[in-house]
């Protein structure tokens, strides 16, 4: 593919993938806005763990099974689409019911003592564990990541890539991803007070839910079309 340093070539290709807005970007934005920067960063950490795992799976050939078996690929993609729809439904439910958590340090209204708990349950991400797992699953259930690695690794490295090469490439993408998504998390967290009203909160949840639903439908359509 190139006579240059294969890791630098990969970094350039991976950067274009990282900077493409997707479901992971929407998810980090929504989590930071609803639950704060810390959980947004935790979600981002879960997202960027995915490329490391996909890279290692590609290095040992497991991802090749997913890429070459249409049934496995389609099943994984459709499961990912269903998961995105689940997240979208939570956002839309939060928008409809107004169950948006208060800002840190601000008490709930006296007549709504359980509002924060309801909001945390509306979409996974209200606890560090849920935030991380949600980010991780959003990435792992996207088989296109594995196909990305499989399509470029043979051209960059002579011979058969191994676990360490795949993991190294995953770490390169993860390092860039955590910078980009971390910036999204920080900026979204800072914007919380400007989006704290019920109408603004509902609008954000509605936007996030709509985007996640759109990504889910596109993922499902692409998977069925590929079959």
Mean pLDDT to the nearest integer, 180-185: 97
Tell me which of 176 and 200 has the higher pLDDT.
176
The candidate with the shortest Cα–Cα distance to 118, out of 108, 128, 110, is: 108
Mean pLDDT to the nearest integer, 199-217: 91
Separation between Cα atoms, residue 173 and residue 176, nearest integer Å = 5
pLDDT surpasses 50 at 72 = yes
At 227, the pLDDT band (50, 70, 90 cuts) reads: low
> What's residue 163's pLDDT?
86
Separation between Cα atoms, residue 70 and residue 67, nearest integer Å = 7
Q: Which of 7-21, 151-165, 168-182, 192-206 reaches the highest mean pLDDT?
A: 168-182
Helix and strand element counts for the chain (H, E): 10, 0
Cα angle: 183, vertex 79, 152; to 5 degrees: 60
> What's residue 193's pLDDT?
80
pLDDT surpasses 90 at 135 = yes
Question: Above pLDDT 70, what percent of the chain?
Answer: 84
Separation between Cα atoms, residue 23 and residue 37, nearest integer Å = 18
At 96, the pLDDT band (50, 70, 90 cuts) reads: confident
Separation between Cα atoms, residue 80 and residue 77, nearest integer Å = 5
pLDDT surpasses 60 at 101 = no
Q: DSSP 3-state assignment of 169?
A: helix
Mean pLDDT to the nearest integer, 149-175: 85
> What's residue 167's pLDDT?
92
At 56, the pLDDT band (50, 70, 90 cuts) reads: very high
pLDDT surpasses 50 at 110 = no
Half-sphere exposure of 91 (CA within 13 A, CB side): 27
Q: Which two tokens stand for residue 214?
A: 């759109």
Q: With the C-alpha atoms ordered 182, 166, 131, 214, is the resulting torsion angle positive or negative?
A: positive
Tell me the domain boundaries of the chain: 34-226
- Per the CB < 8 A criterion, the answer to whether 138 and 84 are in contact is yes
> What's residue 115's pLDDT?
47
pLDDT surpasses 60 at 62 = yes
- 10-19, 52-61, 99-108: the lowest-pLDDT one: 99-108
pLDDT surpasses 60 at 51 = yes
Question: Above pLDDT 90, what percent of the chain?
Answer: 51
State the alpha helices, DSSP H only, in the chain: 6-18, 23-35, 37-59, 62-68, 70-97, 115-122, 128-140, 144-156, 163-190, 198-226
């Amino acid at each position: 593919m190139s006579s240059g340093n294969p890791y630098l070539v990969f970094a350039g290709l991976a950067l274009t993938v990282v900077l493409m807005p997707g479901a992971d970007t929407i998810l980090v934005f929504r989590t930071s806005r609803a639950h704060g920067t810390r959980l947004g960063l935790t979600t981002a950490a879960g997202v960027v763990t995915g490329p490391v795992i996909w890279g290692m799976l590609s290095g040992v050939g497991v991802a090749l099974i997913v890429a070459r078996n249409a049934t496995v690929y389609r099943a994984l993609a459709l499961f990912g689409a269903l998961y995105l729809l689940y997240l979208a439904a939570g956002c839309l439910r939060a928008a409809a019911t107004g169950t948006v958590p208060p800002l840190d340090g601000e008490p709930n209204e006296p007549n709504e003592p359980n509002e924060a708990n309801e909001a945390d349950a509306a979409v996974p991400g209200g606890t560090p564990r849920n935030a991380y797992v949600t980010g991780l699953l959003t990435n792992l259930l996207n088989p296109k990541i594995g196909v990305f690695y499989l399509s470029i690794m043979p051209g960059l490295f002579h011979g058969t890539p191994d676990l360490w090469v795949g993991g190294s490439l995953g770490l390169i993408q993860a390092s860039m991803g955590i910078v980009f998504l971390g910036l999204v998390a920080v900026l979204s967290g800072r914007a919380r007070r400007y989006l704290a009203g019920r109408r603004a909160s509902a609008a954000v949840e509605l936007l996030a839910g709509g985007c996640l639903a759109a990504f889910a439908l596109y993922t499902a359509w692409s998977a069925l079309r590929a079959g």
